[in-house]
A and B are shown apart, each in its own frame.
Chain A
Amino acid sequence: MSRVVTGAGYGLTDWLAQRITATIMAVYSIIALVVILSGLPITYAVWKDFFSQGWMRVATLLFMASLAWHAWVGVRDILMDYIKPDGLRLTLQVCTLLTIAAYLGWTIQILWR
Chain B
Amino acid sequence: MKFIICSYLLIVSGLTYFLIQDKELKESIQRGKDIYNDFCITCHLESGEGVENTFPPLAKSDYLINNREASIKGVKYGQRGELIVNGVTYNNTMMPLGLENEEIVDVMNYVLNSWGNSGSKMVTIEEVNTLLK
Are chains A and B native binding partners rather than an unrelated pairing?
no
